[in-house]
Chain A
Amino acid sequence: MPALLTDRPNVRQEFADKISHVVRFAGDSGDGIQLQGQQFTVASALAGHDLATLPDFPAEIRAPAGTRYGVSAFQIQFGGDRVTTPGDAPDVLIALNPAALVVNLANLVPGALIIVDESAFTAQRLKRASLDTNPLEDDTLEKFDVCPVDISHLTLEAAKPFGLGAKDAMRCKNFWALGLVLWMFDQPRDATAHWIQTKFANNEAVRNANLAALSAGHAYGETAEMGHILSQHPIPEAPLDAVEYRTITGAEAMALGLVAAGELADTELLFCSYPITPASSLLHHLTGLDDAGVATFQAEDEIASICAAIGASYAGKLGVTSSSGPGIALKTEALGLAVATELPLIVVNSQRAGPSTGMPTKTEQSDLYQAVYGRNADTPLPVLAAHSPADCFETAIEAVRIALRHMTPVILLTDGYIANASELWPIPNIDDFQVITNNKPTETSGDIWERDAETHARLWAAPGDKGFIHRIGGIEKDIVTGNISYDADNHQAMTNLRQAKVESVANFIPEQTIDQGTTAGLAVVAWGSTYGAVYQAVKECLQEGLAVAHIHLRYISPLPKNLHDLLTRYDKLLVPELNTGQLATLLRDKLLVDIQQLNKVSGQPLTVAEVKEAIARLANPRMQEVTNA
């Protein structure tokens, strides 16, 4: 056995004093790790903790058991304070096999508690994980506090009375381990028990075995008398101000935002897409919502999906399409058609690591150039980016608002991390949102090319409207009549108009604000899913007395009108991104500002420590107390 850090009481005390923890569940991709994590998330939320989660799973559906590349993991940070990231480094790891243990060691904090399924460390399974020696017996784990538990055997024991075969009984071990971790943090089991009862309502044996495993894991914690390593750590409730909360993933929030936007705009939505990781979950969440005004169409390919969405918009409903980078590339020509015909359209890009197929389940922010510039000709369109799972709700509403107000396609950027991650969400009241206006005709006949002076929008007349029969298309049109035109001056005028239309969006969006921090010194200017890490890093740096601010952009194109004035108040600007510097280039181009970059393109989210390190290099101590909370 490795030496236990429990012999060093200060480490245990530090662990016990924490009001938030980072727990990582890991096992084979067939072990039900994601389910385990989701159930722990629910329990955590019900206990009143703030939280953020990160599922981290392989692209292979069922990779060969026991291999390193087949490890599936779920990480959660939860606690009694505001939580904005799933945590840089876990302080608790639950590993159900040798591979799950070794691939996760590098990220653990020193002194982390590791709970392992001892019985999974057989010679054969060590070999599967490419291990020559047993890490439970050599010095691999000497920096950590290790709690080996015979989880497999104890699960079989718990499931025994219900007559399941060994294979089925073993499938209950995720709930056994969950029971133990729920005990450890004094989290409620009721929601998980309820979930098991509903899920296995028609299979009594499986239902009872899973319930028994959950209880057995919990009881083990209470009775095992391993207090020297395994003890209970109740966490205080987080200071939450809203009344009602739920947990929500980015894909769920995006779906709800689109549904709510349709209702606010009094327009039905046709969501057309083609399956692609990590964007497919949005399609799944939007199915079956006909009575809420959304229909979904799974098209034959990416091109057909955007084309069907454009067809829907032409016919008077709002077309929405969704994909990830490679699929967006295929949609590009049709996006040009939507710009040329001035139709409203929402295109959601759940970015993933590229180029080409890249790493489909890993996250990146590298499609910003594609969104802003990636079309043939001068084809501008508004681009927005969501910054967190919950923020997808509001950003989706804003995207729909812009598309309908200006009669333009809008690209909405999210990413694999936001789509799959979850957080606690104060449930909004839809009546608090402003109604979304559109450009549908209010008269019985008229000219669809008569434009709104401020939004440059044309009328959104659709087939069925008797007084507005018209033809549109991708050929350049006359600015007045809408008929085909190859006239030189007209093309110039139309090009200017398309540009002016997108620029006019800046007159309607809110001015950029400072998320937190000082009004001088260093500004960390970020976008998208780096929000949580930047927020926490800036918060800690402010506490350490540095002059630093966090400015997070939702509107990427056009930029908020005051952004230049805001940014030039700072001595230095730092732009952290999960790409090689795409927002940095855009800001230099649009605002002529000097920018320091922090770039990471590893498929993993930015950590708080990485941002803090960059801030520490650039920021100076705060001279005066000018803060903006």
Chain B
Amino acid sequence: MPELSFKNFATDQEVRWCPGCGDYSILKAVQRSLAEAGAKPENTVFVSGIGCASRLPYYIESYGFHTIHGRAPAIATGVKLANPKLDVWVITGDGDGLSIGGNHLLHALRRNIDVNILLINNEIYGLTKGQYSPTSRVGTTSPSSPGGSVDSPIDPGRFAIGAGATFFGRAVDIDQKGLPGLLNEARGHEGTSFIEILQNCIVYNKDVFDDVANKKTAADHQIHVQHGEPLLFGKTNDKGLRLNPSTLALEAVMVGHDGVTTRDILVHDETNATFAHLLLSMEAPLPTAMGVIHRRRLESFDRAFWNSKTQKRRQKVVNLLHQGNLLDRRNGSE
């Protein structure tokens, strides 16, 4: 069978995002990762909610279900339970996934059903024209918060770890090198994989992630973690992270300065949820962690769900009809 290229995962539908939207590069990365993984379009299902990001299924040549606001994880759960052989993806955004659909996201994560959830976070409501979202930083000015928003944002990563997620990864929308690989790691994980993609809404929240995503400064502002590897970053990998035992937080150090050696640098352990929490709690000027931040093994819900198969069904139904206390008027009572 001929290998499919990423173009085979594109539909004939005209893509209707704003020119320059970060979703274009996310779409491309998704298509690329499906091709790289040798995915079969007929066995792949993309389920989405409502919002700009949720239009994505229309543009991927596979089965797709554009549902209602916030409910994609619940619908995807039904799809996966009905047919566990399917490769099921959820596309959601910060409003769809963490506001109206926060409950379903929480339960998908703690249940650990084998679906891949991509949360495209641009810290704003795009499709409804720019109101602040549950991930917007305090002080975000928007049509619904002209004086700046006052509510504290939720952090998707710490939300996921708190809910018991067995896979959490993070990437930037324009990272065509790292994102397809991360998507494939998620695809290969048994259980719920949850990926936060930092996305640039060029109309309503332009460059909100510039401090992290800007290619010029990315080396200093991002740290790409890998299980078993020391937590080094910077253009020449001369910076590292170590644990400050008095604050129980991570701190950045220069290797070779002040007596710091590579032995002082923490080695990433993706199986440790406390480690993930430390990485996700870093704030500027510390770098933002990217890659597979947390991954652990746990039997997936759909695998545990099916403990027996339909068999000898008609006889079973007949037996059920005759269950209980029968009055059989042929041979007297049972």
- Check if B78 sits within 8 Å of A308, measured CB to CB: yes
The contact of B41 among A310, A427, A469, by CB within 8 Å, is A469
| B208 interface residue per 8 A CB criterion | no
Cα A167 to Cα B75 in complex, Å, equals 50
A290 in contact with B310 given A244-B329, A311-B82, A315-B82 (CB within 8 Å): yes
| A268 interface residue per 8 A CB criterion | yes
- Check if B321 sits within 8 Å of A256, measured CB to CB: yes
The contact of B327 among A246, A315, A341, by CB within 8 Å, is A246
- Check if A307 sits within 8 Å of B75, measured CB to CB: yes
Q: In the assembled complex, which residues on chain B have CB atoms less than 8 Å from the CB atom of A312?
A: 78-79, 81-82
| A301 interface residue per 8 A CB criterion | yes
Q: In the assembled complex, which residues on chain B have CB atoms less than 8 Å from the CB atom of A46?
A: 325, 327, 333
| B177 interface residue per 8 A CB criterion | no
Q: In the assembled complex, which residues on chain B have CB atoms less than 8 Å from the CB atom of A462?
A: 83
- Check if B81 sits within 8 Å of A259, measured CB to CB: no
Q: Of all chain B residues, which has the CB nearest A255?
A: B320
- Check if A299 sits within 8 Å of B74, measured CB to CB: yes
Q: How far is the CB of B53 from chain A (nearest CB, A)?
A: 14
The contact of B78 among A270, A300, A464, A465, by CB within 8 Å, is A270
- Check if B71 sits within 8 Å of A244, measured CB to CB: no
Q: In the assembled complex, which residues on chain B have CB atoms less than 8 Å from the CB atom of A297?
A: 77-78, 81, 305
A316 in contact with B83 given A240-B329, A259-B317 (CB within 8 Å): yes
- Check if B79 sits within 8 Å of A315, measured CB to CB: yes
Cα A473 to Cα B65 in complex, Å, equals 5
- Check if B83 sits within 8 Å of A472, measured CB to CB: no
A334 in contact with B78 given A292-B310, A464-B43 (CB within 8 Å): no
Counting chain A residues whose Cβ lies within 8 A of the other chain, the interface size class is 35 or more
The contact of B58 among A247, A300, A465, A471, by CB within 8 Å, is A471
- Check if A334 sits within 8 Å of B68, measured CB to CB: yes
Cα A333 to Cα B69 in complex, Å, equals 10
Cα A428 to Cα B78 in complex, Å, equals 32
| B244 interface residue per 8 A CB criterion | no
A291 in contact with B81 given A48-B327, A246-B326, A471-B57 (CB within 8 Å): no
Q: How far is the CB of A14 from chain B (nearest CB, A)?
A: 29
Cα A45 to Cα B326 in complex, Å, equals 8
Binary contact track B311-324/A, C-beta < 8 Å → 1, others 0: 11110111011111
Q: Of all chain A residues, which has the CB nearest B50?
A: A474
Cα A188 to Cα B327 in complex, Å, equals 12
| B11 interface residue per 8 A CB criterion | yes
Name the interface residues of B19-59: CB closer than 8 Å to any CB of A: 41-45, 47, 57-58
- Check if B85 sits within 8 Å of A188, measured CB to CB: no
Q: In the assembled complex, which residues on chain B have CB atoms less than 8 Å from the CB atom of A243?
A: 328-330
Main secondary structure of the interface of B (DSSP, over half): mixed
A290 in contact with B58 given A311-B77, A317-B82, A334-B71 (CB within 8 Å): no
| B66 interface residue per 8 A CB criterion | yes
Q: In the assembled complex, which residues on chain A have CB atoms less than 8 Å from the CB atom of B328?
A: 243-244
- Check if A472 sits within 8 Å of B64, measured CB to CB: yes
Cα A317 to Cα B78 in complex, Å, equals 10
A307 in contact with B321 given A315-B86, A464-B42, A475-B66 (CB within 8 Å): no
Q: Of all chain B residues, which has the CB nearest A259?
A: B317
Q: In the assembled complex, which residues on chain A have CB atoms less than 8 Å from the CB atom of B64?
A: 470-473
Q: In the assembled complex, which residues on chain B have CB atoms less than 8 Å from the CB atom of A260?
A: 317, 321
Q: Of all chain B residues, which has the CB nearest A272?
A: B78
| A263 interface residue per 8 A CB criterion | yes
| B247 interface residue per 8 A CB criterion | no
Taking A314-B65, A430-B318 as known contacts, 13 extra A-B pairs with beta carbons closer than 8 A to each other, sorted by chain A number, are A246-B327, A291-B312, A292-B320, A303-B71, A304-B71, A304-B74, A314-B75, A314-B82, A315-B79, A463-B83, A471-B66, A473-B57, A484-B58
Q: Which 8 residue pairs spanning A and B have beta carbons closest together? A: A311-B78, A473-B66, A308-B78, A307-B74, A471-B64, A315-B82, A304-B74, A312-B82
Please name 19 pairs of A and B residues whose Cβ atoms are closer than 8 Å in the assembled complex, sorted by A: A246-B322, A270-B81, A295-B306, A300-B106, A304-B74, A304-B77, A304-B104, A307-B71, A308-B77, A308-B81, A311-B65, A312-B78, A314-B79, A428-B321, A463-B43, A471-B66, A472-B64, A473-B64, A474-B67
Binding site for A on B (CB under 8 A): 11, 13, 41-45, 47, 57-58, 61-68, 71, 74-83, 85-86, 103-104, 106-107, 305-314, 316-318, 320-330, 333
